[in-house]
């Protein structure tokens, strides 16, 4: 940002109006240009994913396992695996995230809440590879990779996201509703679970769905926790016994292969993953905006 375009006092008179107007127009044009550039990048990336991935899609792609050699086959085990790993991660992260948000918003004094908010922000800012190394050192060393290890790593990533989005909707519940419930003799915990939580349930769920969309694309944690699997094991639900195939790892490993058929499957997998994530997050965003409007009314 060329902040020093003019003299030291931007609001002072310079007397050169045409020049000031030219600068103004140039800066506004470049801000617009930056926004258009970002949109262009998005379009280029999405267009390549769709263009190169669409040809890989077929019924087989969704219903068959990857071939042991050559082309053909599909990514059914990977789709199921991603669903299972992320599902279990959500089962871990959702209750914890909601409880944290309740504590921060309903119970904690500012002095107690500050260090916990800070811890949440720090956890949110940690590189996912660091969380992956942590889970690897904690669970994978010694006992080998398991699907559940991946779920735990993803859950650590999801908790701060869910806690934050839940706090935001909790803040929208009018204090008067809590006061009314307490004044009627309801206890604190009944008020919280019976009045406050139901009032913002839809907001909590959309926040959780956004966290799921984020976790579904995470690759670094899965690389260390659930990436070595037997290629002929096919579709499995055994999260607690072995590593589970998943879409991000499929993209990652197929890219390392030299053959165009493998690259085609990587593009196809990428298209499935991106379509899933975009669909989920766009729907969630629309719902979130709607429920916010409803609550603010």
Partner 1 sequence: MRVSTQTVTAPGAISGNRGRADRYGDRALLGITALASLLVVAVIAFIIYQLIDGAEMSMSTFGIAFVGHDIWNPVLNNQNGVFGAAAFLYGTAVTSAMALLIGGPIGIAIGLFLSLLAPRRVGAVIGPLVELIAAIPSVVLGLWGVLVLAPAMRTTIQPAIHDVFGWIPLFGSPSLTGLGLFTAGTILTIMVIPIIASISRELFLSVPKELQEGALALGATRWEMVRGVVLASTRPGLAATLILGLSRALGEAIAVLQVDGGGSSSSISANIFGSGDTLAARIANAFQSPTSTLESSSLFYLAVILLVLGLGTNLAAQLIVRRTTLGNQGAH
Residues 39-58 that bind partner 1 (CB under 8 A): 39, 41-42, 45, 48-49, 52
The answer to whether 177 contacts partner 1 (rule: CB under 8 A) is no
Tokens of 184: 């009627």
Rounded to a whole number of angstroms, the minimum distance from the CB of residue 201 to partner 1 is: 17
Separate counts of helices (H) and strands (E) for the chain:
14, 0
The answer to whether 180 contacts partner 1 (rule: CB under 8 A) is no
Dihedral, CA of residue 206, residue 212, residue 218 and residue 224, to nearest 10? 150
Report the candidate in 216, 205, 208, 204 with the shortest Cα–Cα distance to residue 278. Answer: 216
Rounded to a whole number of angstroms, the minimum distance from the CB of residue 176 to partner 1 is: 18
The answer to whether 128 contacts partner 1 (rule: CB under 8 A) is yes
Gap between the Cα atoms of 98 and 200, Å rounded: 11
Per-residue exposure over 161-191, b if at least 16 CB sit within 10 Å of its own CB, e if not: bbbbbbbbbbeebeeeebeebeeeeeeeeeb
The answer to whether 136 contacts partner 1 (rule: CB under 8 A) is yes
Rounded alpha-carbon distances, angstroms, from residue 227 to 196, 214, 221, 231, 265: 41, 19, 10, 11, 17
Residues 9-38 that bind partner 1 (CB under 8 A): 10-11, 13, 20-21, 23-24, 27-28, 30-35, 37-38
Which part of the chain contacts partner 1 (CB under 8 A), choosing from 58-66, 68-76, 159-167, 233-241? 159-167
Report the candidate in 270, 214, 222 with the shortest Cα–Cα distance to residue 45. Answer: 270
User: Is 150 or 160 the residue whose CB approaches partner 1 more closely?
Assistant: 160
Rounded to a whole number of angstroms, the minimum distance from the CB of residue 110 to partner 1 is: 12
> Is the separation of the CB atoms in 85 and 222 below 8 Å?
yes
> Site for partner 1 (CB under 8 A): which residue of 109, 142, 185, 258?
185
Rounded alpha-carbon distances, angstroms, from residue 247 to 117, 268, 274: 33, 10, 10
Residues 206-235 that bind partner 1 (CB under 8 A): 213-214, 216-220, 223-224, 227-228
> Site for partner 1 (CB under 8 A): which residue of 168, 252, 262, 295?
252
Residues 53-112 that bind partner 1 (CB under 8 A): 95-96, 99-100, 102-104, 106-108
User: Is 203 or 221 the residue whose CB approaches partner 1 more closely?
Assistant: 221
Gap between the Cα atoms of 221 and 234, Å rounded: 22
Number of residues that bind partner 1 (CB under 8 A): 98
Longest dimension (CA), the chain: 77
> Site for partner 1 (CB under 8 A): which residue of 285, 287, 292, 295?
285
Gap between the Cα atoms of 196 and 180, Å rounded: 11
The answer to whether 244 contacts partner 1 (rule: CB under 8 A) is no
Rounded to a whole number of angstroms, the minimum distance from the CB of residue 104 to partner 1 is: 7
Rounded to a whole number of angstroms, the minimum distance from the CB of residue 90 to partner 1 is: 16
Tokens 């690259």, located at residue: 263
């Amino acid at each position: 940002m060329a902040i020093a375009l003019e003299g030291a006092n931007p609001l002072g008179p310079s007397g050169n109006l045409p020049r000031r107007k030219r600068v103004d127009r140039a800066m506004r044009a470049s801000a617009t240009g930056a926004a258009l550039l970002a949109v262009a990048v998005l379009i280029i990336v999405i267009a390549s994913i769709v263009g190169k991935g669409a040809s890989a899609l077929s019924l087989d792609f969704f219903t068959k396992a990857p071939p042991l050699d050559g082309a053909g086959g599909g990514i059914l085990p990977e789709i199921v695996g991603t669903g299972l790993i992320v599902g279990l991660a959500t089962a871990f992260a959702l209750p914890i995230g909601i409880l944290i948000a309740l504590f921060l918003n309903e119970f904690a004094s500012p002095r107690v809440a500050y260090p916990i908010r800070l811890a949440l922000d720090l956890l949110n800012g940690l590189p996912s590879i660091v969380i992956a190394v942590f889970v690897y050192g904690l669970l994978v060393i010694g006992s080998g990779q398991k699907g559940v290890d991946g779920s735990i790593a993803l859950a650590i990533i999801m908790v701060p996201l869910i806690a934050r989005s839940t706090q935001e909707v909790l803040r929208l519940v009018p204090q008067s509703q809590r006061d009314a419930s307490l004044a009627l003799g309801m206890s604190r915990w009944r008020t919280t679970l019976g009045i406050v939580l139901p009032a913002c349930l839809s907001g909590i769920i959309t926040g959780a769905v956004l966290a799921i969309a984020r976790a579904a694309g995470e690759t670094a944690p899965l690389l260390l926790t659930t990436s070595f699997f037997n290629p002929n094991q096919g579709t499995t639900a055994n999260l607690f016994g072995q590593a589970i195939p998943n879409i991000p790892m499929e993209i990652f490993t197929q890219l390392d292969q030299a053959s165009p058929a493998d690259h085609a499957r990587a593009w196809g997998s990428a298209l499935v993953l991106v379509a899933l994530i975009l669909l989920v997050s766009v729907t969630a965003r629309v719902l979130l905006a709607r429920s916010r409007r409803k609550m603010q009314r």
